[in-house]
Amino acid sequence: AFVVLHEGKLIAERYAPGYGPNTPIWAHSLSKSLTNALIGVLVRQGKLRVDQPLAGAGWPASDPRSAITIDQLLRMISGLPFDDNDDAINPLTHMLFLDRDMAGYAAMLPLANAPGKTWGYSNAGFMLLSRLVRDAAGESAADTERFVRRELFEPLGMRGATLDCDAIGTPVGASNSYASARDWARFGQLYLDDGMVDGRRILPEGWVAYSHSQTLDTGYGAGFWTNLVDHGSVPVWDAPWGMPTLPKDMFYARGALGQYIVIVPSERLVVVRMGFAYGGVEKAIAEIIQ
């Protein structure tokens, strides 16, 4: 599926056979940007601060992990192990497929690096953030679902969207959400409109700018990817970070198998691509924007 919004209006969409405007599609790691939004809601409500250490992980004060902040988890600089192991059974696959309590498993992982010093892609960190959402919502899966619908999905009109929970009721905010391409476009529009929808503030003031501010020297922000790294003449589809031929203010959510929500403030554009293969996706998105 491809959906394009300009100035908040649908200007183009196309679907593969068997898919349509209301078909929910597995979003993979677009879910991390959804978790960014839910943490933002809790910040707006005064229940969290991004500079506070993570609560509820069960780490004693003497444990260096107790210094990990919400900001470091959102930016993937917590020091927890990175997802760089291709073995069939590794900490990531164990957490996602073999453990009833995914955040509990993530909390048992030892530090791989000092917090705040090194970037590394981390699903475990986003499961720890997801537990904060569960705890604020009321702990059960039903409580979490009501919170997510009331605070995010319903105001945005994402009527067919769902966020899976694990066996103890923690949302799988690292990877397991489902929504139609149109619903994800509505989500992208929220970030294009600085966290506002229909005159109502969903995300706190400054949250969108924070979400796509650069982390260390990488192309990652705080739950979104950025386009801030200078690649010179590197072709768009070969760049290790971002899409260098496109506007620098562009930022985006990205998931496995080529899921994208691309937000271009300078062009007032939101481009969504959902699918099951990588081939040529970034080039196609670049052609649409250009």
**Residue for token digits 């959102």?**
74
Domain membership of residue 253 as a residue range: 2-289
| 141 Rama sector, left if φ>0, alpha if ψ -120 to 50, beta otherwise | alpha
* Structure confidence at residue 111 (pLDDT): 94
pLDDT in tens, the chain (290 residues): 999 999 999 999 999 999 999 999 999 999 999 999 999 999 999 999 999 999 777 898 899 999 999 999 999 999 998 875 556 566 666 677 667 789 998 999 999 999 999 999 999 999 999 999 999 999 788 999 999 999 999 999 999 999 999 988 899 999 999 999 999 999 999 999 999 999 999 999 999 999 999 999 888 999 999 988 765 545 444 555 567 778 999 999 999 999 999 999 999 999 999 998 777 788 888 888 88
User: For position 236, which CATH number holds?
Assistant: 3.40.710.10
* Structure confidence at residue 281 (pLDDT): 83
Q: Both tokens of residue 279?
A: 């081939």
Specify the number of domains making up the chain.
1
What predicted TM-score, i.e. pTM, was given to this entire model?
Answer: 0.93
Diameter of the chain measured on Cα atoms: 56
* Structure confidence at residue 196 (pLDDT): 98
* Structure confidence at residue 58 (pLDDT): 82
* Structure confidence at residue 283 (pLDDT): 83
Determine the Cα–Cα distance for residues 101 and 81; give it in Å rounded to an integer: 18
* Structure confidence at residue 235 (pLDDT): 47
